[in-house]
Amino acid sequence: MNRLETLLHRWEDGSIPAAELAELKGLLKESGNREALVEHLRDSNTIHSVIQAQASDRDFGLASLEQEAPIPFPGEKVSSQRLRRSGRRAGRRRDRAGGKTSPLPWFLAAAAVLAIVVGVRFMGGSSVIPIDQGGGLPGEPGAGGCLHPDSGRPEPVAERHVGRRR
């Protein structure tokens, strides 16, 4: 390694003492050395950019793998850091793998409850369905009422009971 090369390496490394920096400046007064300086710097930049690009590709690849990685066995503990890194998707996968129950979005849960309530209220189920076998006035036996479960006779609407849908 010649003197110029040594000084260039030290300068590039940031470990050059003031006296050697002055020596380097002296050497760079010659145009041939200035060309060597450009060659050194441009090669450094190329090496640096190739290595940086490959490192970022590798990091990106690792990040993608991390996204897929935390699918633990049922009951396996996943570190919070690992979960944080891999985002919420991993948490959901963990649920499927036998961990906690997956949280249903609140609006889906609310919509489901509302649908059940509305269904029960308007579609029947536990409500009384008039069998309309009577023909009498309201309050009289058979007037749009239903059959008594024991006697099988029509009973007044006012005494409707909860019966099964027919």
**Does residue number 90 form part of the binding site for another protein (CB under 8 A)?**
no
Residue among 47 and 115 whose Cβ is closer to another protein: 47
Among 3, 4, 7, 9, binds another protein (CB under 8 A): 9
Question: E strands, the chain, where?
Answer: 146-147, 154-155
Q: What residues pair up with 146 in beta bridges, in sequence order?
A: 155
Does residue 105 belong to the site contacting another protein (CB under 8 A)? Answer: no
Q: How far is the CB of 50 from another protein (least distance, A)?
A: 5
Among 4, 17, 20, 51, binds another protein (CB under 8 A): 51
- Identify the bridge partners of residue 147 per DSSP, sorted by sequence position: 154
Cα-only R_g, the chain: 42
- The contacts of residue 71 (CB under 8 Å, 6+ apart) are 90, 93, 94, 97
Site for another protein in 113-152 (CB under 8 A): none
How far is it, in rounded angstroms, from Cα 47 to Cα 124? Answer: 76
Which spans of this chain sit near another protein (rule: CB under 8 A)? Answer: 1, 5-6, 9-16, 21, 24-25, 28-29, 31, 34-35, 37-48, 50-52, 55
